Chain A
């Protein structure tokens, strides 16, 4: 029973990863790609780690995969924020159908 639950959690995580990568291919702009890929892949990899913990229990593999989850949740949005700010200052234009530019308005 608990094996089936773990495999279902890993399946959800892998589906999030795949959709994030499809978004990385399909979307038109750096910022759109960053938004889709970072959110989906962070949640998907955390799902994979939690599924590995559920499957393997309290041995070294399970505990270390449980430790990985807060580190991914802390580091991935920070890296995405730094990349978005760097891309804006580097001079990458927004997509020509984008309506708002709040960073430019607030500066």
Chain B
């Protein structure tokens, strides 16, 4: 289980690399969205390993926070355009 957790955290760092390097703004937003969904998996596995059941509550809240944040940022992107 520890090895699986380490692989998930390596995936999180790959997402952070894309969020830092990404050429355009939507690249960074995609990377942050994916990072939120990965963190849900990290919370679930960590809660199972440590036998602490409140970690899954954090995961369940993080899904909705990430969804609302991504929808708000996407609407912000549609509002202003590079062309006009």
Chain A residues in the interface with B (C-beta under 8 A): 7, 10-11, 13-14, 17-18, 20-22, 24-25, 30, 33-34, 37-38, 41-42, 44-45, 48-49, 52, 55-56, 59-61, 64-65, 67-68, 71-72, 75-76, 78-80, 82-83, 85-87, 89-92
Contacts and interface: CB of A to CB of B under 8 A. Distances in A.
Q: How large is the interface on B (under 10, 10 to 19, 20 to 34, 35 or more residues)?
A: 35 or more
Given A52-B48, A83-B70, 7 more contacts: A17-B8, A61-B53, A71-B60, A79-B71, A83-B73, A83-B77, A91-B81
A91 to B, nearest CB: 3
Interface string B60-84: 1001101100110111111011110
A19 B12 CA distance: 12
Contacts of B71: 78-79, 82
Nearest to A30: B26
A72 B56 contact: no
Contacts of B60: 64, 67-68, 71
A18 B11 contact: yes
A18 B41 CA distance: 12
Nearest to A45: B41
Given A52-B44, A52-B45, A90-B26, A71 B63 contact: yes
Contacts of B64: 71, 75
Contact of A37 (B34, B40, B48, B57): B34
Nearest to B82: A91
A74 to B, nearest CB: 9
